[in-house]
């Protein structure tokens, strides 16, 4: 048995403070293996290095694990460097403990060798951490030789339930009002820019719906939590397994509400009505592009007519939805850009968040395209953000035209900084949760 301190290094507030679910799940798995686990959230501490050092001295861990959620904000118009935060935490930890320092999380998994070298940590886990974290600390505690980076090919059994920390829960109840949970991992789609298949697998692995709702029920009983975000890469899978979770929620009639990420295709109004009865309060849609040509270039597998159809289903059920779109990616031209802006006008009673350029992540189809076009080389350090902008399209002019098209609209956000400013104001006014859903307006009342 080892004493382990797990640390969330995430500091991003966009679009709202997000509970460190990965850390909680690993904590649950390590505890189930008999280890004594403490958790520390750097964001909840006020990004206080002193509080971090004090917690290390208090816990006196045999092992220190640092979770890295993001490389940056994926906003080409703003700078952020979250690996630098992890590096600083490693430096502070070195002054307090001689315990081995282990990195993990999605950001680490994207660039494990580069980030391990950059931060100076001792070991890293690339991939899912439930089993791998226990395997690594037990091997090290036993003095067995182990590679510095443990690559996990995926879990064989049921995913661990999160072990929510009471003090951390209290922070997020005040900061965002939300707790996170997953019903499945993996993504069966192959969007050109996305690294979810490499992070979680290219096929869906679903949790037992009863276990999912058990976790929700326990969080409600322990903390009085009523608002949740389902953090699946995509909730509405083609096989309909998501509706099994909905059925279990309906059966138990928990007094909770939830939101999720959804793919804007194969969204049926009848299913949305059931979801709304089960507590669905809002959904964020991975629309990504605004014209059929750019949707094809990103490998989305649906048309903009399907996006409009999905949006109308949400409007009919009076469930707020938001679309996240990116301009200037592969296939973007003056014609597709103009068509995209016009298409956005077809989306009523919704919110749109727009971005320009698409961050290039290793191992994606976009990375392959960028290599072929000479935008990056085989040895380009992608720890530093590199964004894809379509050739022949002026990124600055593009931004100006989007900003002009969105000007005066309370339901359209560009540049991303505008959305951050609006959300900060809403939080200061006492609003909690997604926040953007409060901006959706319906012209004609029509109950779901």
pLDDT of the residue at 413: 93
Confidence of residue 48 (pLDDT cuts 50, 70, 90): very high
Q: How far apart are CA 117 and CA 374, in angstroms?
A: 26
pLDDT of the residue at 428: 75
Least confident range of 240-254, 299-313, 425-439:
425-439
pLDDT of the residue at 392: 85
Mean pLDDT rounded to a whole number for the chain? 93
Q: Which two tokens stand for residue 138?
A: 């037990």
Question: Is the N-terminal amide bond of 341 cis, ω within 30° of 0?
Answer: no
Residues 77, 415: contact at Cβ < 8 Å?
yes
Residues 260, 233: contact at Cβ < 8 Å?
no
Q: How far apart are CA 335 and CA 71, in angstroms?
A: 33
Domains of the chain plus CATH, in order, are 3-151 (3.40.50.280), 177-439 (3.80.30.20)
β-strand partners of 123: 102
pTM: 0.94
Give the sign of the dihedral formed by CA 381, CA 384, CA 10, CA 175.
Answer: negative
pLDDT of the residue at 68: 97
Q: Which residue has the higher pLDDT, 226 or 439?
A: 226
Q: Which two tokens stand for residue 399?
A: 């931004």
Q: Which two tokens stand for residue 126?
A: 């690339």
- Residue 445: is its pLDDT beyond 70? no
Nearest alpha carbon to residue 369 among 297, 288, 286: 297
Nearest alpha carbon to residue 320 among 288, 356, 277, 349: 349
Least confident range of 295-304, 308-317, 374-383:
374-383
Place of tokens 């035209």: 401
pLDDT of the residue at 103: 98
Residues 77, 416: contact at Cβ < 8 Å?
yes
Nearest alpha carbon to residue 105 among 79, 81, 132, 78: 132
Nearest alpha carbon to residue 337 among 410, 284, 397: 397
Average pLDDT over residues 162-179: 96
- Residue 153: is its pLDDT beyond 60? no
Q: How far apart are CA 6 and CA 275, in angstroms?
A: 35
Instruction: Give strand ranges (E) for 156-211.
Output: 179-181, 184-185, 205-206
Q: CA–CA distance from 425 to each of 16, 420, 430 (Å)?
A: 12, 9, 9
Three-class secondary structure of residue 355 per DSSP: strand
Q: What is the pLDDT of residues 180-218, one digit of tens each?
A: 999 999 999 999 999 988 888 888 999 999 999 999 999
Residues 98, 116: contact at Cβ < 8 Å?
no
Q: What is the pLDDT of residues 97-115, one digit of tens each?
A: 999 999 999 999 999 999 9
Q: What is the pLDDT of residues 327-362, one digit of tens each?
A: 999 999 999 999 999 999 999 999 999 999 999 999
Three-class secondary structure of residue 8 per DSSP: strand
Q: Look at strands 358-359 and 387-388 and give their pairing.
A: antiparallel
pLDDT of the residue at 50: 98
pLDDT of the residue at 420: 74
Confidence of residue 156 (pLDDT cuts 50, 70, 90): low
- Residue 47: is its pLDDT beyond 90? yes
Confidence of residue 79 (pLDDT cuts 50, 70, 90): low
- Residue 70: is its pLDDT beyond 70? yes
% of the chain with per-residue pLDDT over 90 = 82
- Give φ, ψ of 340 to 5 degrees: -65, -45
């Amino acid at each position: 048995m080892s004493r382990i301190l797990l640390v969330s290094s995430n500091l991003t507030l966009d679009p709202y403070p997000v509970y460190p679910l990965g850390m909680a799940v690993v904590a649950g798995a390590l505890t189930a293996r008999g280890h004594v686990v403490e958790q520390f959230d750097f964001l909840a501490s006020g990004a206080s290095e002193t509080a971090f050092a004090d917690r290390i001295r208090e816990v006196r861990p045999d092992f220190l694990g640092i979770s890295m959620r993001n490389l940056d904000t994926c906003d080409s118009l703003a700078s952020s460097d979250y690996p630098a935060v992890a590096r600083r935490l490693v430096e502070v930890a070195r002054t307090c403990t001689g315990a081995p320092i282990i990195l993990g999380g999605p950001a680490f998994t994207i660039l494990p060798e580069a980030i391990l070298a950059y931060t100076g940590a001792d070991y890293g886990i690339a991939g899912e951490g439930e089993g791998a974290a226990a395997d690594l600390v037990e091997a090290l505690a036993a003095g067995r030789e182990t590679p510095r980076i443990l690559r996990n090919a995926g879990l064989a059994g049921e995913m661990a339930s999160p072990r929510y920390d009471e003090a951390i829960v209290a922070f997020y109840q005040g900061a965002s009002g939300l707790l996170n949970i997953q019903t499945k991992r993996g993504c069966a789609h192959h969007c050109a820019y996305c690294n979810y298949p490499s992070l979680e697998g290219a096929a869906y692995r679903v949790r037992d719906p009863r276990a999912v709702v058990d976790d929700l029920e326990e969080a409600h009983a322990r903390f009085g939590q009523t608002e949740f975000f389902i953090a699946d890469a995509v909730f509405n899978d083609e096989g309909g397994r998501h509706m099994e979770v909905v059925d279990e929620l309906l059966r138990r009639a928990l007094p909770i509400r939830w939101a999720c990420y959804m793919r804007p295709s194969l969204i049926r109004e009848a299913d949305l009505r059931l979801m709304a009865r089960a507590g669905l309060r809002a959904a964020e849609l991975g629309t990504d592009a605004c014209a059929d040509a750019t949707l094809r270039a990103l490998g989305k597998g649906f048309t903009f007519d399907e996006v409009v159809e999905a949006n109308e289903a949400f409007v009919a059920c009076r469930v707020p939805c938001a679309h996240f779109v990116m301009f200037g990616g592969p296939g973007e031209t003056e014609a597709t850009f103009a068509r995209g802006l016009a298409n956005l006008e077809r989306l009523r009673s919704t919110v749109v968040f727009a971005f320009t350029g698409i961050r290039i992540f290793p191992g994606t189809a976009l990375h392959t395209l960028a290599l072929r076009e000479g935008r990056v080389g085989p040895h380009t350090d992608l720890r530093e953000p590199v964004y894809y902008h379509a050739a022949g399209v002026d990124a600055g002019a593009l931004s100006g035209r989007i900003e002009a098209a969105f000007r005066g609209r309370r339901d359209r956000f560009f540049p991303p900084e505008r959305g951050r400013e609006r959300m900060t104001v809403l939080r200061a006014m006492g609003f909690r949760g997604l926040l953007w859903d409060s901006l959706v307006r319906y012209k004609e009342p029509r109950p779901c």
